[in-house]
Amino acid sequence: MSLSRSAKAALRQAEAEGLTLLRVEGSRSGFRGVGFDSRAKSKPYTAKVWRGGKEYVYLGQFATAEEAALSYARTPEAQAAAAAPPEPPPLTAEEALWHAEAEGLTLRRSEGGSTGYKYVSFESRAKSKPYQAQVWRGGKQVRIDCFATAEEAALCVARTPEAQAAAAAPPEPPPLTTEEALWHAEAEGLTLLRSNSSSTGYKGVSFNSSCKSRPYEASVRRGGKQVTFGCFATAEEAALCVAHTPEAQAAAEQPTATSSRKRKVKS
Q: What integer pLDDT is reported at residue 267 of this predicted model?
A: 34
Residues 6+ apart with CB under 8 A from 103: 159
- Tell me how many degrees the CA angle 228-207-117 measures, rounded to the nearest 5: 70
Q: pLDDT, tens digit, for every residue of 154-202?
A: 999 999 999 988 888 887 788 899 999 999 999 999 999 999 988 999 9
Q: Is residue 260 part of a domain?
A: no
The pLDDT of 94-123, averaged and rounded, is 89
108/156 same-domain check: yes
149/207 same-domain check: no
Q: Is residue 164 part of a domain?
A: yes
Q: pLDDT, tens digit, for every residue of 217-246?
A: 999 998 888 888 888 999 999 999 999 999
Q: What integer pLDDT is reported at residue 131 of this predicted model?
A: 93
The residue from 146, 168, 190 where one domain ends is 168
Q: Is residue 189 part of a domain?
A: yes
* Tally of domains within the chain: 3
Q: Using a pLDDT cut of 90, give the percent of the chain over it.
A: 55
Q: What integer pLDDT is reported at residue 256 of this predicted model?
A: 56
Q: Which of 21-25, 95-99, 126-130 has the lowest mean pLDDT?
A: 126-130
Domain of 17, in residue numbers: 5-83
Q: What integer pLDDT is reported at residue 261 of this predicted model?
A: 44
Distance CA 112, CA 215 (A): 10
Of 205, 58, 26, nearest to 132 by C-alpha is 26
pTM of the model: 0.52
Q: What integer pLDDT is reported at residue 1 of this predicted model?
A: 59
Confidence of residue 214 (pLDDT cuts 50, 70, 90): confident
Q: Is residue 182 part of a domain?
A: yes
The residue from 168, 190, 211 where one domain ends is 168
Q: What integer pLDDT is reported at residue 114 of this predicted model?
A: 83
Confidence of residue 257 (pLDDT cuts 50, 70, 90): very low
151/108 same-domain check: yes
Q: What integer pLDDT is reported at residue 69 of this predicted model?
A: 95
The residue from 83, 115, 132 where one domain ends is 83
Q: What integer pLDDT is reported at residue 45 of this predicted model?
A: 95
- Tell me how many degrees the CA angle 230-231-237 measures, rounded to the nearest 5: 100
